[in-house]
Amino acid sequence: MDILYTVVITLATLALLIAIHEYGHFWVARRCGVKVLRFSIGFGTSLFSWRDRQGTEYSIGAIPLGGYVKMLDEREGEVPESELDMAFNRKSTLQRIAVVGAGPLANLLLAIVAYWCLYMAGETGYVPIVEKVEPASIAAVAGLERGQEIVSVDGVETPTWQALSFRLLDRIGDTGTIRFGVRYPDSDMVYESEAKIDHWMSDQEAPDLYGGLGITLYTPEVPPVVGEVVSGSPAERAGLIAGDTVVLADGQSMPLWQDLVAYIRPRPEQSITLEYERGGDLYQTGLVPDRVTDETGQDVGRIGVAVAMPEMPPELVRQYARGPLESLGAGIVRTWDLSIFTLKSIKKMIMGLISPKNLSGPITIAKVASASAKSGLESYISFLALLSVSLGVLNLLPIPVLDGGHLLFYFVELLAGRPVPEKIQVVGYQLGLFLVLSMMVLALYNDFTRL
């Protein structure tokens, strides 16, 4: 059932993003007087289709990994003389630029609208308070101390965990100085400090941002209360359900969730006896943790349960209420920041400052889409906006076969006053196709290795 849910959510997400992207092309093409022959979501055999009054065919393809808008074009077939003025290739260079650029811009517009809705609904975040500083770490060198709030990184405010994480993500692979602004509890005085970084976490596939700094942020103590049980897992077979509180493991006390995790991880495929509380009564059960490989390549034990997280103290929760215009401005800024971040990440990956293992494909997208949808509407919309930004920015890269490659040729044509020679375009498309396919293969390879 979980697999079916993941497939449905993934297909719905991709269909929406593709439809928005292609509708951008479609809408501007019609405004520019171009005749649209087909609007397709998906490739391959058409599962069903229909036509509108202007003769455009709308189609749903069998392979839901893309889409396209087919326009009347003399380069793709003979065009009746009466329709030559509606052919795409007969339009001015600026009109062709507008049609091609409208797809990625539609995705960026979707992200702005999504963030606008989220900000209108209100934003909540946790205050980043330092709980622990590792000796000789970057944070220790910078002089960070337990109890301080990290209010800025490199001069950019970090009022919440999310804001802090985003600033740190932006520094992965960098060499130079990282600057912190911190303040003590019940004080408005901000202290500035800094530390040196050298290719910071550039070789890590799943960077631990706070661990990379050498800090742990404050969270309430987490008791070993089961929040969710994975279907078919050892925990489910042992009879555990959400709400159970684990008290003992092989007779040893488990006061905190991390104690339970620390006990189970080094015991894959070893029998463990758990004592747990349910409804005021104590019960006992036995289970054998599955052997799985974690992100570091080590074999560890897992029983298939997720923790029920306790509530954060109210004084450590920040809530923001914005009006319509302020929310719109925040949505535009957020989309712009993510676009720049995506471009910088691509640059760092090309330069070898970020591991290519961070490149993800459809399997990872499916897993994240499913998880975000289960977490609630707000989480899913946030993921949808992030994915829409990525799709928009990637399509604007100046790689032939992508929208950005077409735009590159059209801008050259605009400046030179004549089209790019067809031979050069063909070679460019071949190189672009090779590059895109290579990236797709690498992304799929990374997906399968994570599995």
DSSP type of residue 225: B
Look at residues 236, 20, 218 and name the one whose alpha carbon lies nearest to residue 128: 218
Give the C-alpha separation, 91 to 249, whole Å: 73
Non-local CB neighbours of 300 within 8 Å, separated by 6+ positions: 265, 266, 268, 291, 292, 293, 294
Q: Closest Cα to residue 109, out of 10, 24, 11, 32?
A: 24
How far apart CA 393 and CA 385 sit, in angstroms, is: 12
Task: Locate 158 and state its tokens.
Answer: 């970090």
Active site (annotated) includes residue 22: yes
The two tokens of residue 250 are: 């092989």
- Interacting residues of 156 by C-beta distance below 8 A, sequence separation 6+: 163, 167
Q: Which residue type does 230 have?
A: V
DSSP string, 41-68: EEEEEEEEEEE-TT--EEEEEEEEEEEE
Cβ neighbours, 10 Å, residue 149:
19
Whose tokens are 């495929």? That residue is 269
DSSP element (H, E) containing 245: strand 245-249
Structure-token pair, residue 348 = 């760092």
Residue 423 C-alpha from the chain's centroid: 38
Residues noted as catalytic:
22
